[in-house]
Structure 1
Amino acid sequence: MTVVADIYELWAMFRQFNKKQAIGMVENQSDFYLGEKRWPAIGRGYNSGVLMYNIYLLKKLNWPKLWSASTKRAALDYGSTRLADQDIINTVIKENPELIFEVPCVWNTQLSDRTLSESCYKQYKVKIVHWNSPKKYNVDNKDGEYFRSLAVGFQEYNGNLLRKKLQFCNNVPLSAPRNDSIDDICSEFHGLSNMHWRTILFFREYKYVAVENDITFVAQLSFDRLQTIEELVKAWPGPISFTLYVSDPELLKSIAFITNSEILKDRWNVAYHAVFKEGDVYPINILRNIGLRNVQTQFVFLADIDFYPSNDLYETLIKYITVYGSLKNKALIVPAFEIQKFVNQLPTDKKRILDGLNDKSIIPFLSMIWAPGHTPTMYNTWRNSTKPYKVKWEVDYEPYIVVRSDVVQYDENFIGFGWNKVSHIMELEAQNYEFIVLPDVFIIHKPHTPSYDLGRFRTSSVYRLCLRLLKEEFIKRLNKQYNRNFAYHNTSAMLPYIRRRKRHNRVIDFSSTTLETNTDYPNATE
């Protein structure tokens, strides 16, 4: 259905119902009910595409008993329904004609193969277009192109624009007074966690059969990474959670891609969630939390979309969980690697990883450009290890981990590039987690083009400043909440200087300040 009018007009029509009318419907715009062996209907009957119910009156009439009694009588004479609920409702109306309020035809302009709707839309302005044919948009109708253009127009629409017309209460100022401070400059970092994101959970059917000690692979992605999910789905037979950051048209394309993929179309243990794009930022930790909050397994593997699992990773992780039990305050680390040279096939077992490490075609993930991120995993120990081993947390550590699904959520103030995973691991350290490296599993990073947010981090000193301030706020919170003493650099001493510059010059250039200090890995190529 394509709604091309203000739906409130339809709601307001309830005021026209008399005291006995409980159901509002548009007349069926075909001769279906005039054929032989049809369920009873008044004339052409009524189409159930748009239904208005006076629930209060239906309750007084004992609606469950009313429709079931009519259905039983009709079924004895006419057999099974052909149009399901529509046949049943029409039978009830045939026996109780006082219930029906006839809604104007424009509120359900029906486009079946045998439609008679032309007499309606040629005379009046259409309010709702109803593609009530199994062919949907491919229906054979001489005016079909016009109506298809309406549907396509809405599909290409940015749904967030529908939220731009704000309603304000009387006597409430439209906006708070601006504060000439760093808060204005870094507002995008501080405002996102309180923002209401337009979200669709499980936009495709999800079926899950419980397995003991089961694990969900949790990842988030943007539309340009969509094709990478096929390889991951092939390599991970267990449940998966994907949270997509998309525009409205991108969501439709994503659904089409999944539906038509031979790999994806029959995998029902993959949960797909959609968060709609808003502004220029990538709310990475918000996406992660949406996936994390909606898993149905006791354990999760918190990873990224651009990694390929080792052989039997899913089954092996379940075995380790069986050994370690509930994983209370424990995080199992899956070591991450990256390819240095082009290969036809990614390594899937430890022997090939070791061969690659020896000839330097494989290296520990980010070891060339951001060593603190994964060095604490102790890759030299991993080479010869046959048993899990514990490692100590260090500053900026960001491994990929298996934990309980009730693990603390990611800090949603971290957006785009920089410290989004580091902060989560740091909070686990604050909660006294044990970090345990697994000796016979791994993931391989698949190269991809640099993200927009990485570009902003590299080129914008303001972005880096705001991220550094956010880090300080985060660490202060951890110290207070968990009675810890994590160190941080005090950037706040610069704030009076920043305020003065903003107040007098209105333009700020931080390129000459000492705040260029890198927040994450500055020379990253991806």
Structure 2
Amino acid sequence: WLAVCKFLNICSLTSLTLPTSRWRCRQFVFDVHVRSFPDGRSLLLTPCLADTPAAQVLERAVLESRVREVEEENRQIRLQLSQSQGTAAQSPDGNYGNQQWGASADTGPEDGDNTAEEKNNHTECPRSPTVQKCELIHVACVCAGHNASRDVVTLVKSVLFHRRNPLHFHFITDTVANRILSSLFQSWMVPSVQVSFYDADELKSEVSWIPNKHYSGIYGLMKLTLTKALPSDLSKVIVLDTDITFATDIAELWGIFRKFTDKQVIGLVENQSDWYLGNLWKNHKPWPALGRGFNTGVILLYLERLRRIGWEQMWRLTAERELMSMLSTSLADQDIFNAFIKQNPVLVHQLPCFWNVQLSDHTRSEQCYTEVSDLKVIHWNSPKKLRVKNKHVEFFRNLYLTFLEYDGNLLRRELFGCPSQASPDSVQLQSALEELDEDDQCYDFRRERLTVHRVHLYFLQYEYTPTEDDTDVTLVAQLSMDRLQMLEAICKHWEGPISLALYMSDAEAQQFLRYAQASEVLKNRKNVGYHIVYKEGQFYPVNLVRNVALKNANTPYVFLTDVDFLPMYGLYDYLRKSVVQLDMAHTKKALVVPAFETLRYRLSFPKSKAELLSMLDMGTLYTFRYHVWPKGHAPTNYAKWRTATTPYKVEWEPDFEPYVVVRRDCPEYDQRFVGFGWNKVSHIMELDAQEYDLMVLPNAFMIHMPHAPSFDISKFRSSSSYRNCLNTLKDEFHQDLSRKYGSAALKYLTAQRNI
């Protein structure tokens, strides 16, 4: 912060009160408000806003108004300067402060020497290349697998945070990343952002012939194929690694294309390690490069010109020639880019190093900046990532963590002064919202049903191989941060696949990630799909979260349960046998797993039905909710279950909400029910309306473990308007059910009126 204050004084923009520590804010709303000025600097505004939503909106409006005023002043000053000074500052060949590659281009600077560009990286409020106000900026990333899909979100957040232009992201993905990112962006609904996906499998043959030792594998070579992969009418693109964090508006980088000479086709930052100097260890032999070479974590690709000069053929010839002596690449695409540039130096435009401050080991990144305000892009290009050694690593880490935990919902803001590029889904959503009556007592409940929550599928590594007999069952549940402690126990009780939807904030999702990575039980289970549904609104959208878990189960059958229940040992195998025994593949059945509960936090879990019945008789266990909500499970007929040896059918009764095993194509949960009350009841009612037979399993059981009451049940108990709205929603659900299933559903409305 001292460095930032110093920067603010240098540029004489304004004086602001800054927090002494990022962590003293209860919520660090960074949407604050780093705002990039057209001259390339950034202004940090007050990070800790008031607690009330109204105050936050007011302060944000004031801050944005202040930023616009200063931006206009700066624009006028730059206009006056340009008129008086002309364009003398630009180098004759249009190179952005570049080292000039001439006849001696084969020999780079000696180790430890600084080019003129490096000595001039600290600039006093430099001029930025002009970018049109609403010009569309194209960004490409290669992203494959679960981990890279998670990492790229932080990059996207940092870009969206600073941007003032429409964006088009181009993702070259495998099947996993495509599924994750397409779902994420569809549910994120960020205005003026387009997303396109390209199948990496179709490009593998282009680079699979290249031996490669880099940890990124074949995907580390995919950037070589972008002229072929991206649309033929796309003229230029910014290419980024997934481990990049932006500290400024990406439009500044896009504007550098206008500084290219007629011959230049690639913009790169010099490599900040000694790798290409070949002196890191004895017999170290890197690929050929100009001097220190270039790093490909940030690339400006002039696609139109690359296609014109025959890029695809040129890089292939370069790779084939060098592989005759090098045998394989060590740094994937970077080696081939550098060998190509060594032979064609006139084609490269060297970017100032602050556009790719590299934090790998053995780098000279500290020489790239003298003030933190100089930083534009931070590149975590070491396998160690945040554990890398650098004297300013804590500053970089805090900046990265800010975006990692930043509330992505705040990035759903319209661009100021640019025409809206609303998708059909967002137009339909806006229309539905406008139809709501804000004077309706239950407006907040109806508004929640229309809320689109961001969803990040498969947040952690997931592997599942389908069984050959098509009898597999996935345990499906949802949870929030306060139930996280149940996960290890459930994994010990259930060895089959699990689909979990977690309702969390961005910061809580990172806490969960650290928890899962530190747990020996969880990190060794790859058949658990964790799907993050990001928090928004004032109600817990319990049925929406359940549906996310349900829709992303990958087995023919699902066990619909709650996360605070522990299934009996061996239940997974027992359910698979029951699926066959009851011919669920050809009949509509819902298998009921009887539910019990204990009031003890430490329980010697019963290993058999006989042991459970003994504990039931001794008062150690109880039938679930018999003392507070008997109607919820009484139709299970526990008295019959005690002696039953074969499955038996039970009839639907009002408020029945058992935990069941059904086919995966069962009805989804009704998302009008949020928070506490009737969320499972409505689902069982629709199963019955679709004529599912409710079959109780005689040798299955599950036990509810004690926990503190949820926030939603407390609201239900303390708020009469909450209870009144729930009754209103019940009536509307009954009416909808009658319209959907006709006279067969009248019994539910009659039963409701008789209660």
Indicate the larger mover: 276-285 or 417-426.
Answer: 276-285
Matched, 1:424 2:683: yes
- Partners of 2:601 and 2:576 lie apart in 1 by 32
1:22-81 Cα shifts (integer Å, max 9, x gaps): 443322112211115101222222212223444555555665554343223212211322
- Partners of 2:646 and 2:611 lie apart in 1 by 19
Matched, 1:267 2:525: yes
Q: Give the root-mean-square deviation of aligned CA atoms.
A: 2.8
Q: Which residue of 2 aligns with 1:197?
A: 453
For residue 99 of structure 1, report the CA deviation from its aligned partner. 4.5
- The one-letter amino acid of 2:608's match is D
Is contact 1:216-1:300 (8 Å) kept?
A: yes
- Partners of 2:447 and 2:436 lie apart in 1 by 14
For residue 371 of structure 1, report the CA deviation from its aligned partner. 1.0
Matched, 1:82 2:340: no
1:231-257 Cα shifts (integer Å, max 9, x gaps): 111111111111111112211111111
Is contact 1:107-1:126 (8 Å) kept?
A: yes
Q: 2:513 aligns with which of 255, 269, 277?
A: 255
Distance 1:39 1:447, change over 3 A: same
Is contact 2:648-2:695 (8 Å) kept?
A: yes
Distance 1:125 1:217, change over 3 A: same
1:113-152 Cα shifts (integer Å, max 9, x gaps): 3222233222662122112223322322222232223223
Indicate the larger mover: 62-71 or 136-145.
Answer: 62-71
1:159-185 Cα shifts (integer Å, max 9, x gaps): 323335676887999995984632xx3
- Partners of 1:429 and 1:127 lie apart in 2 by 59
Matched, 1:110 2:358: yes
1:344-372 Cα shifts (integer Å, max 9, x gaps): 41223211111122223212111111111
- Partners of 2:554 and 2:562 lie apart in 1 by 19
- Partners of 1:60 and 1:38 lie apart in 2 by 30
- The one-letter amino acid of 1:387's match is T
For residue 460 of structure 1, report the CA deviation from its aligned partner. 0.9
Matched, 1:28 2:271: yes
- The one-letter amino acid of 1:24's match is G
SS in 2 for 1:352: helix
Distance 1:202 1:458, change over 3 A: same
Q: 1:7 aligns with which of 230, 237, 250?
A: 250
Distance 1:8 1:366, change over 3 A: farther
Matched, 1:485 2:746: yes
Is contact 1:472-1:490 (8 Å) kept?
A: no
- The one-letter amino acid of 1:146's match is F
Distance 1:180 1:448, change over 3 A: closer
- Partners of 1:148 and 1:110 lie apart in 2 by 13
Indicate the larger mover: 22-31 or 235-244.
Answer: 22-31
- The one-letter amino acid of 1:329's match is K
Q: 1:120 aligns with which of 353, 360, 368?
A: 368
Distance 1:435 1:77, change over 3 A: same
Q: Which residue of 2 aligns with 1:297?
A: 555
Q: 2:701 aligns with which of 442, 453, 459?
A: 442
SS in 2 for 1:485: helix
In structure 1, stretches of 5+ residues that fail to align are 492-516, 520-526
Distance 1:299 1:66, change over 3 A: farther
SS in 2 for 1:263: helix
Matched, 1:368 2:624: no
Q: 1:406 aligns with which of 655, 662, 665?
A: 665
- The one-letter amino acid of 2:450's match is N
- The one-letter amino acid of 1:485's match is L
Is contact 1:472-1:489 (8 Å) kept?
A: no
- Partners of 1:168 and 1:390 lie apart in 2 by 64
Q: 2:294 aligns with which of 29, 38, 46?
A: 46
Is contact 2:540-2:712 (8 Å) kept?
A: yes
Is contact 2:474-2:497 (8 Å) kept?
A: yes
Q: Which residue of 1 aligns with 2:216?
A: none
Distance 1:32 1:254, change over 3 A: same
- Partners of 2:257 and 2:270 lie apart in 1 by 17
Is contact 1:283-1:412 (8 Å) kept?
A: yes
Q: 1:338 aligns with which of 589, 592, 597?
A: 597
Q: 1:136 aligns with which of 382, 385, 404?
A: 385
Is contact 1:327-1:403 (8 Å) kept?
A: no
Q: 1:312 aligns with which of 570, 575, 578?
A: 570
Q: Which residue of 2 aligns with 1:215?
A: 473
SS in 1 for 2:386: helix
SS in 2 for 1:114: coil
TM-score (norm 2): 0.61
- The one-letter amino acid of 1:195's match is T
SS in 1 for 2:521: coil
Indicate the larger mover: 89-98 or 301-310.
Answer: 89-98
Matched, 1:236 2:479: no
For residue 210 of structure 1, report the CA deviation from its aligned partner. 0.9
Indicate the larger mover: 244-253 or 122-131.
Answer: 122-131
1:291-319 Cα shifts (integer Å, max 9, x gaps): 11112111111111111111210011111
Q: How does 1:85-100 map to 2 (within 5 A)?
A: 85-100=333-348
- The one-letter amino acid of 1:7's match is I
Matched, 1:467 2:710: no
SS in 2 for 1:345: coil
For residue 413 of structure 1, report the CA deviation from its aligned partner. 1.4
Higher RCO (C-alpha 8 Å, min separation 6): 1
- Partners of 1:170 and 1:61 lie apart in 2 by 36
- The one-letter amino acid of 1:396's match is D
SS in 2 for 1:220: strand
SS in 2 for 1:275: strand
- Partners of 1:433 and 1:228 lie apart in 2 by 31
Is contact 2:448-2:537 (8 Å) kept?
A: no
1:250-274 Cα shifts (integer Å, max 9, x gaps): 1111111111111111211111111
Distance 1:397 1:170, change over 3 A: same
Is contact 2:405-2:510 (8 Å) kept?
A: no
TM-score (norm 1): 0.86
SS in 2 for 1:268: coil
Q: Percent identity?
A: 47
1:358-414 Cα shifts (integer Å, max 9, x gaps): 223212111111111111111111110010111111111111111111111111111
- Partners of 1:102 and 1:290 lie apart in 2 by 46
- The one-letter amino acid of 2:573's match is E
Is contact 1:309-1:348 (8 Å) kept?
A: no
SS in 2 for 1:264: helix
Is contact 2:673-2:679 (8 Å) kept?
A: yes
Distance 1:320 1:240, change over 3 A: same
- Partners of 2:262 and 2:691 lie apart in 1 by 66
